[in-house]
Chains A and B, each alone.
Chain A
Amino acid sequence: MDHRNYIGLVIIAVIIAFIPTLVKNDYYIGILVFTALNCLTALGLCLLMGYAGQISLGHAAFFGLGAYSTAILTVNLGWSPWIAMGAGACLTAVIALIIGVPALRLKGHYLAMATLGFGAIVNIVFVAAVGLTGGPSGISGIPQLNFLGIELNTDKSFFYFSWAVVILGLFLALNLIHSRVGRGLRAIHDSQEAASSLGVNTSKYKIKIFVLSAAYASVAGSLYASFINYIDPGPFDVMHSVLLVVMVAVGGMHNIWGAMIGAVLLSILPEFLSALSDYFGGIGIAYKSDYDMLIYGGILLVIMLFLPGGLYEGIQRLLQASRNLINRFKMRAFS
């Protein structure tokens, strides 16, 4: 059973290898880089939400902390982007720890509120701490990444690199899920009382997975800063936190592949829709990015109403149903 997940990793790697031969347009490759970064953040969030059952409405803040760490440390202090990424992840982890210790005592709505407040505060700091963050005008001139002597200065090279990081992130997450730690986390999700009665240190585990989840977001943020070379507070607002939760929920949070599906779908859907509206432009239908939230909201509503387990579960049910159908036909054929 476990092995199928790892075959999934190989399949993704193969798909990624072939995409640039199909998608020649640099703009779309760029979109797929952002998709990868959303996947990475969604993976971490899925570990926290889907497996340990703890919500965070502040993950854009961790994403932003990674991005700003990279920007400030490379531009202002001239650090190597790699060291900046590591330092950013460590800083984010420490902040997550400080936030997580009190916040994770809370449950459900209260935890959602606390993390939401945290996200809002961090975003305000990005805007207001002009001396450090450049305020609303942000930080530009963030250096490119250099991976083993290869400058990641084209969209295509960064595309490969970012998806390699996603695959690595998936690999680590899959290992964790299928371990005593992962089972401990899932146990917390279902019953904290029962989990603790079996020796799972529930408060410690919740904090650790929160920190790990924040670190995933931070690394994604650092990659984001290195990729577009310029950041401002815009993408790290509360709305982005909500969007990340929507990605995980739409895909299906009880499974890491669900989070991947949700992140990929919601990252490319707006582009797909605007391309479609260009195509139909002649008849007066134009898609504006203002409609993104409308689309996301609509999708979330429909999924929660009709497929609360997310798309992943929907796909599984569909497969199961078609399997049943085939079996029935076979039975009829033999009788």
Chain B
Amino acid sequence: MDKTSEKDRISEMIDAIMRVARGDYSAQIERSGRDDDLDSLAVGINMMSNDIERDITERKKAEEKIREQNIQLKKLDELKTAFLNVTSHELRTPMTSIKGYVQMLLNQILGGLSDEQRQGLDVILRNTNRLDGLIQDILDVSRLESGTMKFIPKKTDIDTLVGQTVETMQASAGRKEITINADIEADVPGLIVDELRIKQVMTNLLNNAIKFSPDGTIINVKARKEKNDILFEIQDFGRGIPKDKQDKVFETFYQVDSGEDRKFGGAGLGLAVSKGIVVSHGGRIWVESREGKGSTFSFTLPLKPVKDVEGRFKAIDMFGLEKTEEEEND
């Protein structure tokens, strides 16, 4: 082969490689048919550009599929949000008139009542509130799972938050002669959180502590700064939770003793909702407990607020990161 045609072949190959490098994978070199090194090189370049082209097409197809799936998921999410909003409205409306009329009757606005009538209406009101709480919890769980729960973070004073929550629980604690002690570290810094939602977490934990403790015991509530978090603890001296159930209690509808626990009127949603709220705020929640001795539920909230409160829980859930968080606590 003469020098010039060899040079031409080489520059043709350089050309082809440059085209591939720039993203044009259609580059092909005509074979000389001579069984020499240059021809092998040509075969190699052709194979390379073919392979890359195939890979790229496959990747593009896969990307396209993911894009389509994302659009579908987003549509599904929007549908779910709309569904939840409608459900919420449709369930609350009948509750509004039931609760309103029962209260009017109980206040004897519409006439006097016998003791039996009053007792009957008390039962209706209590169960109406229970149903309303259940609806609220189911909606909250669905919203957390679809990442559509609305959070309204504001600067919040921890002392006030804990104090007010404990205050609202005193009546039900009192019925079992349970004393709640609150111990808030002096000068504990404030947080930017959704106050109502964090109160909801504390209320759930306190409700459980009261529910699963014998009469006359105490419950300790603590809050203190620990590294980059505020750590909250709710300690009871109740029946405790078996070791192998301690992770499960945070799952929706899970109850350790489904027969016994349901008698208290719960559905097994309180801890699932609490976990969703805490994780959304960038915190962690866990339990340490010994059967027959008592339980301590702890949760943290970061001093530096996370940016993506909404949807954070869902995102974490989807990538299965929750597991590692739970494992950390073992």
Are A and B physically bound partners?
Answer: no
